[in-house]
Each structure stands twice: as structure tokens, then as C-alpha cells.
Amino acid sequence: MNSDRLSKRLATVANYVPKGAILVDIGSDHAYLPCFLAKNIGITYAVAGEVAVGPYQSAKGNVLSEGLSEIISVRLGDGLDVVKPGEVEYVTIAGMGGALITSILEKGKDKLGSVKRLILQPNISAISIRQWLLDNSWMLVTEEILEEDGKIYEVLVAEKGKDAIDPLIPYGQSLEEGLLLGPYLVKERNAVFKKKWINEKKNLQRIYQQLENAVQTPDTIEKKQELLHKIKLVKEVIQDEESKWS
């Protein structure tokens, strides 16, 4: 992969960054995403943020060799510390766990005042991002799920909830189901979504069985109850599909 041709995963993230955008890409690693956007979408300006020295140097090297130093500023630092309040309008964070993405957003809240859109691609635990968006009045405006090289990824796009807009709207009647599975993804129920949740249900059932075989403490009993509840939510959504596959 290089900055001329992105992976399907990063290309999906890139699709939500418009021409003229001023953005920060947190955890940019090689800076492929901002380089691609600068060369192909015509963004105004990007900050590529990295907390680790190796990836920061790799990003710096790529931006320099692509001749993009005027458009992309590569900065070393933790999460949103690399930007000033009011500096950017779009934030991309891809290729990390949902909990880490959430903690970056939480710690960098003071930098989000000028931000119009968050484009987030968690490798796991999208639920923690949806919960954070809801708690912080960000409206989830769309979601995508895709498979690449045998791995399944989700992309979540959120916009600042105007005072009049209730961020609960996308979740409709079932907040719990929407938080776990994604309100737009549940509605669409495409083949990748079904594949993901058939596998996840098996994983949840396997963990449940392990806990069932362990010494029963109040903690294991509580965990088992949580798992059963999750399994029920997943079953309700993929039930029809499973009978087709079995």
C-alpha cells in the first residue's frame, strides 16, 4: 500500500473527508491517509499526529518524499495534543481499538469545538465509541462495515449535534441494540455484518461456557449475566440468518 492507493479500510475513511477540509489524522503512522487526501481530494491542510517516534519519522519521511510538506504538518504528541483549539474541522482516527479512540476524544475535548465531523475506524469495541458520541452530543450520521484480508472493520461518522438535534435519533426504539451493533448497520444488515455477528455470537457463547466451567464468584455470575444479555441482543438480530446457514 502507498499514498496513491489506499487499503479498502482507509479508502472508506477517506470518502468522508471533503475537498478543502482542514483535518487532523491521529495515529497517522506512515501518513498514508493525509498524503492520499492531499494528492487526490484537494484538502486545504492536514496535521498528521503520532505518539510514537518510529511512525512519526516514517510519516515525516513520506510527507517529505511526496513533496507535501506545505500541506501536511507531521507532529509528535499524544492524541489531540498535537492541534490547537480551533485549528481543525475534521478528525480521523483509524486502526485502533474503540476504547483508545474514545480516550483520545475524551482527553482532547477542548480541541473539538471547531470540529464538524469525526471519522472513526475502530478495530474492536465500536460500542464504546457510540456510547461516547451519545454522552457528548455527537450525532452518529452514518456507519459502514467492510471486510478486507479476512478482517472486518467498522467506520463510524459523527457530526456535532446541533442543539435542536437529539443524538438519540439514530438509535430509534432500541438503544442497547444500536450501541452494540450499530443503528445503521442493523438496519442495512449486509452480508459482512451478518458474518461478523454470527462469529461474535460464537465467541460470546464460548466465553460464557468458560465462565460456566469456572468457580462461581459474584463476579463470574455478573459477567455471565452480561454475556447472556449480549447473546440475546445478537440472536434477535441474526436469528433468521443463522437458520439459513445451519
| Interface residues toward ligand SAM, by CB under 6 A | 10, 26-29, 49-52, 55, 78-79, 94-96, 100, 104
Q: How far is the CB of 26 from ligand SAM (least distance, A)?
A: 5
**What is the identity of the amino acid at 237?**
V
Q: How far is the CB of 16 from ligand SAM (least distance, A)?
A: 14
Q: How far is the CB of 25 from ligand SAM (least distance, A)?
A: 7
**Nearer to ligand SAM by C-beta: 48 or 181?**
48
**Euclidean distance between CA atoms 82 and 79, whole angstroms:** 7
SS (H, E, C) the chain: CCCCCCCHHHHHHHCCCCCCCEEEEECCCCCHHHHHHHHHCCCCEEEEEECCHHHHHHHHHHHHHCCCCCCEEEEECCHHHHCCCCCCCEEEEEEECHHHHHHHHHHCHHHCCCCCEEEEEECCCHHHHHHHHHHCCEEEEEEEEEEECCEEEEEEEEEECCCCCCCCHHHCCCHHHHHHHCHHHHHHCCHHHHHHHHHHHHHHHHHHHHHHHCCCCHHHHHHHHHHHHHHHHHHHHHHHHHHHHC
**Nearer to ligand SAM by C-beta: 32 or 197?**
32
**Nearer to ligand SAM by C-beta: 29 or 143?**
29
Residues facing residue 24 across a β-bridge = 47, 91
Q: How far is the CB of 100 from ligand SAM (least distance, A)?
A: 6
Q: Are 145 and 193 contacting, i.e. CB atoms less than 8 angstroms apart?
A: yes
**Nearer to ligand SAM by C-beta: 68 or 179?**
68
Q: How far is the CB of 64 from ligand SAM (least distance, A)?
A: 18
**Nearer to ligand SAM by C-beta: 52 or 124?**
52
Q: How far is the CB of 235 from ligand SAM (least distance, A)?
A: 32
Angle CA 156–193–224, to nearest 5: 95
Residue length, the chain? 246
**Nearer to ligand SAM by C-beta: 85 or 172?**
85
**Nearer to ligand SAM by C-beta: 50 or 144?**
50
Q: How far is the CB of 38 from ligand SAM (least distance, A)?
A: 15
